[in-house]
Structure 1
């Protein structure tokens, strides 16, 4: 994605500037608004050359979630112990192993020394901390309980990381099995079947239809293998690019929820993330409309995120949260019940935490039993392939044996 330079002002009228990586200038403006900055000027930066981009990716990797979790835990310990922010941050800079995060913290210290607040300084690096992180810190600053904000953020980030890893592990097994099957099919098509083709050429008889089909596919693969390989690689590159565009990410976000066995796990993991993120925002005192905006951008599914963001319209019209959630059409009855009971009892955050725990336990259970769900499907698929190959290869041999006897 391209890099943009921006200039803007905080809610206190202070001038800020920095750089953000986003798909468009509108996306940059939206990120700035979400962090409490009013953009004045946004322009695309052309400083990032190809060599520099590779160097940043390989030699200077961006901070990972683990780096952010460690930093947040350390900030919780420092603020709870009453260590001054500037002194504590200087100590963290010396112990931070990620260079980009260390440079960002150095700039945060400079901004704090110039009189700016911590949330405003972190907002200058929204590509690292994100709108959700910045807003929770801002709420903690205004309420005078910054250590509690860092505690909730560290817990949220750790749970979110664990959920992501579980979903990735769920997708890893079927992906590896399908890849192994495709490689095996390629080897059989290009090297094994041609050996039988030479033998079939000596037959003075018409080959069965399955055999002719297999030989035709094998001959095409032998002659145009580089086109097939290039098409597969090109298709994967195109899909990776397309899935990162605004339109592609929304379509892919919707389609992947319909994948048999996998889609339901992804949906429940996303709903768990919605429930936990929204509960944290609600409990931290973030305004409801702003919380919906932040949650919609934290879901990692633009199709679901759009529907959560659209809930703001109903809330702004004065409708209840339960009614707008039902109208969104993406939540299960469990989440809707939790929201309704939470509104009636005044404990929406507690109810959503319970819903998040329930979904995370279900996701963990389904992941552990995913192999038992997918194995029958893969066995049927492999069985069909073996049957086709057996018919194509052995039918002519059986015919030859019949003629011989």
Structure 2
């Protein structure tokens, strides 16, 4: 989209300069006026071409969850203050810290100006705005509660950001230890073992089993490293291709919930996400059948999505929410009991919020427990590696010492 450099006056007469993206100078002037500015001069903007600009174009910044949190909260504040959508998007696009998000919002404005509604305009950028995000915005448009929807989206995404940070923090130390182990094994195989191998060969006779294992590993690393790299690459891309397929993705998502140590965290996080999203959609006045369709696609797990959509089919047949949830086979006793109580009392959305808060606390505890569980496992693996190295190096020396005696 073309860009224009402008000079304008604010409502207090202060001089303002900047750059705005628009199809034409007339549209740029209209956007400035809608933003509360009085344009004085608008001219075509020629971006400086250079290595820095080329690198920015080649590697545009990725839009993170935190950017969407900030965008949602700013939209809530602006809309609550009565600012028109186009004016709000213009201000956010011009002042966005993330250049990619700024360009995206400029495209959304152009779509709005062509006659589309906000949800349809956001849906043109599926890599930025998820199906769930777009669906809630559409619900807010039809119900007249768009500002409240943006507030709820900001709160939900903020919890997602905090959960991701906690998981990364819990896995930081194990990742560092695993990297150190791999680096140590590589260095030992390439530089240390070959030096000892010549001494071991001069001893004659059969070497102990740990020593033979170390020598074989070293020889494989030095003599066949090309095959090892090719094999590793084939395995990596093969698994990635299988997981990207429909059947492989479904099995992988199902397996994730059963992984040792990590599976419990993912399961409880999924229950918390389902409960909070379901409550959020119901609170917006969406029918249960539609709500389950929207929430199921927002859980980022095709196995759970299939189970949730089976609940929708059961409700369409006239069954209760608690009964279909029990038949789905993915919810624990607490969720089922709370759903049953919520149906009887008419407070399903409120009880779902309580369930989500409970499982958020459980996820925090499970993440702390995950870190405490991984550390002993890594310690055992490191001890086994050190033991193998010690046995492989010192056993032949012990045999040599006995022969010398």
Superposition TM-score tier, normalisation by shorter sequence: 0.7 to 0.9
Partner of 2:139: 139
Partner of 1:294: 294
Report the alpha carbon displacement of residue 113 of structure 1 after superposing the two structures with TM.
Answer: 4.0
Partner of 1:102: 102
> 2:60 touches 2:100 (CA, 8 Å); kept in 1?
yes
Partner of 2:63: 63
> 1:167 touches 1:269 (CA, 8 Å); kept in 2?
no
- For 1:402 and 1:204, the matched residues in 2 are separated by 14
Q: Structure 1 residue 195 and structure 2 residue 195: aligned?
A: yes
Q: Structure 1 residue 270 and structure 2 residue 270: aligned?
A: yes
Report the alpha carbon displacement of residue 295 of structure 1 after superposing the two structures with TM.
Answer: 1.5
Give the direction of change, closer, same or farther, for the CA distance of 1:269–1:168 in structure 2 (3 Å limit): farther
> 1:167 touches 1:265 (CA, 8 Å); kept in 2?
no
Partner of 1:361: 361
Of structures 1 and 2, the larger Rg is shown by 2
Structure 1 unaligned residues grouped into runs of 5+: 1-53
- For 1:297 and 1:56, the matched residues in 2 are separated by 33
> 2:69 touches 2:154 (CA, 8 Å); kept in 1?
yes
Partner of 1:121: 121
Deviations 1:104-132 (A, max 9, x none): 43343344445543333333334422222
- For 2:374 and 2:203, the matched residues in 1 are separated by 42
Partner of 1:255: 255
Partner of 1:340: 340
> 2:140 touches 2:146 (CA, 8 Å); kept in 1?
yes
- For 1:183 and 1:118, the matched residues in 2 are separated by 51
Give the direction of change, closer, same or farther, for the CA distance of 1:170–1:317 in structure 2 (3 Å limit): farther
- For 1:170 and 1:57, the matched residues in 2 are separated by 34
Report the alpha carbon displacement of residue 189 of structure 1 after superposing the two structures with TM.
Answer: 2.2
Q: How many residues align?
A: 352
Give the direction of change, closer, same or farther, for the CA distance of 1:231–1:110 in structure 2 (3 Å limit): same
Report the alpha carbon displacement of residue 284 of structure 1 after superposing the two structures with TM.
Answer: 1.0
Deviations 1:72-98 (A, max 9, x none): 111111111112222222222221244
Instruction: Write the mapping of 1:3-402 to structure 2, written as runs, cut at 5 A.
Output: 58-402=58-402
SS in 1 for 2:325: helix
> 2:171 touches 2:371 (CA, 8 Å); kept in 1?
no
- For 2:272 and 2:119, the matched residues in 1 are separated by 27
Give the direction of change, closer, same or farther, for the CA distance of 1:170–1:326 in structure 2 (3 Å limit): farther
> 1:277 touches 1:295 (CA, 8 Å); kept in 2?
yes
- For 2:57 and 2:181, the matched residues in 1 are separated by 32
- For 2:122 and 2:354, the matched residues in 1 are separated by 31
- For 2:365 and 2:153, the matched residues in 1 are separated by 26
Deviations 1:172-222 (A, max 9, x none): 433332232222222222221122111111113222233223222221222
Give the direction of change, closer, same or farther, for the CA distance of 1:273–1:214 in structure 2 (3 Å limit): same
Give the direction of change, closer, same or farther, for the CA distance of 1:136–1:61 in structure 2 (3 Å limit): same
Report the alpha carbon displacement of residue 399 of structure 1 after superposing the two structures with TM.
Answer: 1.5
- For 1:116 and 1:126, the matched residues in 2 are separated by 16
Deviations 1:258-283 (A, max 9, x none): 22212211211122111111111111
Structure 2 unaligned residues grouped into runs of 5+: 1-53
Deviations 1:351-399 (A, max 9, x none): 1211111111122223234332222222222222222222222222212
Partner of 1:51: none
> 2:265 touches 2:366 (CA, 8 Å); kept in 1?
yes
- For 1:318 and 1:81, the matched residues in 2 are separated by 43
- For 1:286 and 1:93, the matched residues in 2 are separated by 30
SS in 1 for 2:83: coil
